[in-house]
């Protein structure tokens, strides 16, 4: 069972340069995080975009969609910026016969204190256990994109059905 991890950029892969928050999107951090975790499942990481999620537009979402649809793997994890991950997840909802989990981080994976490894671990576990469909894995929970919002003040994702 192979998991395809598609990196789109976002905070997960950001590199900050100075106190004025100058940054660029670096290489996908999923690879070093999974290597460090010594996971025993087969995976492949592909960088498909290097953008902050606030910069993503409908063309970018279509690129993500086409990559997911065309990939032979049925288990897909997408690392994505948190500001628009719900919108991207909703754009993927009608893809059939694949389990797709979108995840991200509130702090870059390159920082010592980051939620990235926890969220990536949750996403890679969830993608192996869930039925075909589209999900968001953040803050120790798995969410339905149709009922999920980002609570900016609390720096977490929540279900609007709770």
**Does a structural domain hold residue 104?**
yes
Q: Is the pTM of this model over 0.95?
A: no
Residue 58 belongs to domain spanning: 2-146
Q: Is residue 130 part of a domain?
A: yes
Q: For residue 154, tell me if it sits in a domain.
A: no
The answer to whether position 89 is within a domain reads yes
Are 46 and 6 in contact, with CB atoms under 8 Å apart?
yes
Establish if 157 belongs to a structural domain: no
Each residue's pLDDT, cut to its tens digit, for the chain (162 residues) gives: 899 999 998 878 777 666 656 777 778 889 989 999 999 999 999 999 998 888 899 999 999 999 999 999 999 999 998 899 999 999 999 999 999 999 998 877 777 778 888 999 999 999 999 999 999 999 999 999 999 999 898 888 999 875
Does residue 68 form part of some domain?
yes
Q: How far apart are CA 10 and CA 1, in angstroms?
A: 27
The number of folded domains in the chain is 1
Is 28 within a domain? yes
CATH code of the domain containing 37: 3.40.50.1170
Would residue 161 count as lying in a domain?
A: no
Dihedral Cα 159, 101, 87, 97, nearest 10 deg: -110
């Amino acid at each position: 069972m192979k998991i395809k991890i598609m990196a789109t950029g976002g905070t997960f892969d950001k590199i900050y340069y100075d106190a004025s928050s100058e940054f660029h999107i670096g290489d996908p951090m999923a690879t070093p995080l999974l290597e460090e975790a010594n996971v025993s499942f087969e995976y492949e990481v592909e960088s498909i975009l290097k953008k902050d999620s606030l910069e993503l537009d409908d063309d970018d979402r279509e690129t993500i969609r086409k990559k997911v649809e065309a990939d032979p793997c049925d288990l897909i994890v997408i690392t994505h910026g948190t500001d628009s991950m719900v919108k991207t997840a909703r754009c993927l909802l009608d893809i059939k016969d694949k389990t797709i989990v979108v995840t991200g981080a509130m702090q870059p994976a390159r920082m010592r204190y980051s939620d990235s490894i926890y969220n990536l671990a949750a996403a890679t576990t969830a993608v192996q256990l869930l039925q075909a469909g589209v999900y968001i894995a953040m803050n120790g929970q798995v969410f339905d994109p149709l009922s999920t919002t980002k609570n900016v003040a609390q720096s977490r994702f929540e279900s609007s059905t709770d």
